[in-house]
A and B are shown apart, each in its own frame.
Chain A
Amino acid sequence: MKTLRTLGIGLLAFGLLQAVPALAEHDAGPEVKSLRGHVPLEDESVRTQPKKWIKDDVPFERDYVQQPPLIPHSIKGYKINKKFNKCLTCHSWANYRESGATKISQTHFKDRTGTVLATVAPRRYFCTQCHVPQANAKPLVENTFKPVKALQAEQ
């Protein structure tokens, strides 16, 4: 009984497989591309190259007004949590001279009411919310952001 049922399911699946290419030929609508791309099911999909972080570079130009500066170095394994912030061990006001790093902006000491605090304001504490490192990746979509110089030229 069990073998029969398995056989039945197998036949059904085989029939469906036969029918699918035929259906695709008839459908003239927009082409649907699966996440695997156009690789046939039985073939191995093309392996994407893992992106590499930019390990060390000079500071990047800002690409648009008010852009948080990008991180020009790898931050692999850097921790930012309740107890500890690895970024501040170089970028805090106490450490930036010794490490030769950019010091964090004065705006980062203001809380939301505008009160200036002695330490980094909690809302500014998680650096990677705004500041991100760069990888060797091309932008996925076009954008129209312009650096400030371009805006000056337009005026």
Chain B
Amino acid sequence: MSEQHNEPGLFRRWWAILKKPSVKYSMGGLLAAGFVAGIIFWGGFNTALELTNTEQFCISCHEMRDNVYQEYKDTIHYSNRTGVRATCPDCHVPKDWTHKMIRKIQASNELLHKVLGTIDTPEKFEAKRLELARHVWKTMKETDSRECRNCHDFESMDYTEQTPRAMRNHEKGLTSGKTCIDCHKGIAHSLPAIFEEDPSAAFKVD
């Protein structure tokens, strides 16, 4: 009994190996192996990450394919005269690495709800639409519509080239310090029905 107690556990044994300097392999060999392994792991990680950053990945779930994707297909971000498209991740995943990682970690919550089947029917989705939309609007507002501005840069926008209605409203918006999402809600997906009667519902905090 006492002998068994003295034997170190698995974790301890591994730790002892890791702590001990190598006596068998050369420094150069270890460095080279580490370098190659690093490339493989980092490359593999990024490849896998980018795979989850495609429209095909998003609509591989029926929740996205049957609801929001169908609505998006009628909009200018899907089909337009020049053929330049903004796909799901262009608007919903930040471009820079730090914010992208944060968003990807948050997405694990979405995986949980996929498993739980929180919005697995059109009725359930419709019931949750306002709440889900509010999440996105809140984020967009906080980031000053960062994802919009990856393409739509206020500095490069020539109002005089716009239609009178757009010109008027963009000037008004810019001077009153508004951000894109303040006005451009529901440009890629249908708005929650409440919006027709009470637009202030968009800003209520749950």
Contacts and interface: CB of A to CB of B under 8 A. Distances in A.
Contacts, number: 43
A100 B169 contact: yes
B193 A83 contact: yes
Nearest to B195: A89
B163 A55 contact: yes
A86 B163 CA distance: 20
A73 interface: yes
Contact of A83 (B75, B76, B169, B190): B190
B153 interface: no
A55 to B, nearest CB: 6
Contacts of B66: none
A24 interface: no
Contact of B196 (A76, A79, A88, A98): A88
A84 B75 contact: no
Contact of A79 (B165, B166, B190, B197): B190
A98 B75 contact: no
B126 interface: yes
B126 A83 contact: yes
Given A77-B75, A84-B190, A94 B198 contact: yes
B199 A94 contact: yes
Interface residues of B, number: 20
A94 B126 CA distance: 22
Interface in A131-154: none
B167 to A, nearest CB: 9
Contacts of B126: 83
A113 B168 CA distance: 41
Interface string B67-101: 00001001110000000000000000000000000
A85 to B, nearest CB: 6
A56 B164 CA distance: 7
Query: In the complex, which of the residues B75, B126, B169, B191 has the most CB atoms of chain A within 10 Å of its own CB atom?
Result: B191
Interface in A52-77: 55-56, 58, 73, 76-77
Interface in B158-175: 163-166, 168-169
B163 A56 contact: yes
A21 to B, nearest CB: 43
Contacts of B166: 56
Contacts of A86: 186, 190-191
A83 B129 CA distance: 11
Contacts of B74: 77, 79
A56 B198 contact: no
30 contacts: A55-B163, A56-B163, A56-B164, A56-B165, A73-B165, A76-B76, A77-B74, A77-B76, A79-B71, A79-B74, A79-B190, A83-B126, A83-B190, A83-B193, A84-B190, A84-B191, A84-B193, A85-B196, A86-B190, A89-B191, A89-B195, A89-B196, A89-B199, A94-B196, A94-B198, A95-B196, A95-B199, A98-B199, A100-B168, A100-B169
